Amino acid sequence: MKWWLALVALPLGAHVMSMSTGEATVSGKRVDYILRIPYYEVEPIRNPEKSLLEHITFSGGRLQDHKCFRDGDSYVCAAEYLFSRPVETLDVTCTLYAVTVPNHVHSLHVTRNGKEDRAFFDYTFTTATLRFRPPSPWETAVQRMMQGALRGVAGPFQLLFLITLAMAARSRRELIFVIGAYVAGLLIAVTLGWRPPERFAECAAALGVAYLAVEILFVPQGGMRWWIGAVLGLFQGLYLALFTGSETPLFVTGAAIASVLICASAGLLTVRWAPRWAASVPLAASLFWFFTLLRR
């Protein structure tokens, strides 16, 4: 058995999910911004007070003053930006993933005269325009479904998650049942309204992938794998719940469609071509992720 392939997956396990939050308040020509990020994400960064604020910019704004400090388990940067004219719309560019980890997500909430807007940034979405007006239903639907689709499949962890699920199917018929159970579990999770701690959602998903990989490797004739697909869907739903808001159905619909397409495509290949021992790769990676999370 070519166990050396499992080692390839280990570097992927440095982080499963990385997230920071931002609050911006617009007052005429001034924007007050507060960035909050887990301190362990900042420790490897050289000169974080400068580096972090260089990777989130407000178009047309000039950094007037800033202060960064540790606040318990978080690192906080408070900054003030001045504009040449009153801010009507706010164009934001965020590339924090470049100084943290590739799958870093930044959630930005902005208020202006009692109106608010929100945006999520990662390596797939680096720019956004916050308009402080209610978007049209069509704009909302397209935006949230696209965000859900990319969040559901973006990143090495999400892809590994779906490929492992596809590997569990031993026939096209079983692939249909596994995918259906996965989608059902996903929908159940996000409709529960439970927002679990980030580490819990990550650990649960990592253990779910590990269990499925063990099932593939050592119980090749095991039955009813569809229920494992439902459990993995539940774990994935808990992860997606961290990003959902008032447009939860749209977000989840986009994530479900993208996940089904990736899983079905991978399943059609693995059912025919993938050897059973290939499950050692997701097994090694998921266990490495899990123990990395425990050391945080």
Q: What b/e sequence results for 124-141 when a residue is b if at least 16 CB atoms lie within 10 Å of its CB, and e otherwise?
A: bbbebebebeeeeeeeeb
Question: pTM for this one?
Answer: 0.57
Q: What is the pLDDT of residues 249-285, one digit of tens each?
A: 777 788 888 888 888 888 777 765 667 777 888 888 8
Whether 20 and 41 have beta carbons less than 8 Å apart is answered as yes
**Domain ranges in the chain?**
14-134, 149-294
Give the number of C-alpha atoms closer than 13 A to the C-alpha of residue 138, restricted to the C-beta side: 0
Q: What is the pLDDT of residues 223-240, one digit of tens each?
A: 777 787 888 888 777 777
DSSP 118-179: EEEESSS--EEEE-SSPPPHHHHHHHHHHHHHHHHH-SHHHHHHHHHHHHT-SSHHHHHHHH
- pLDDT for res 80: 97
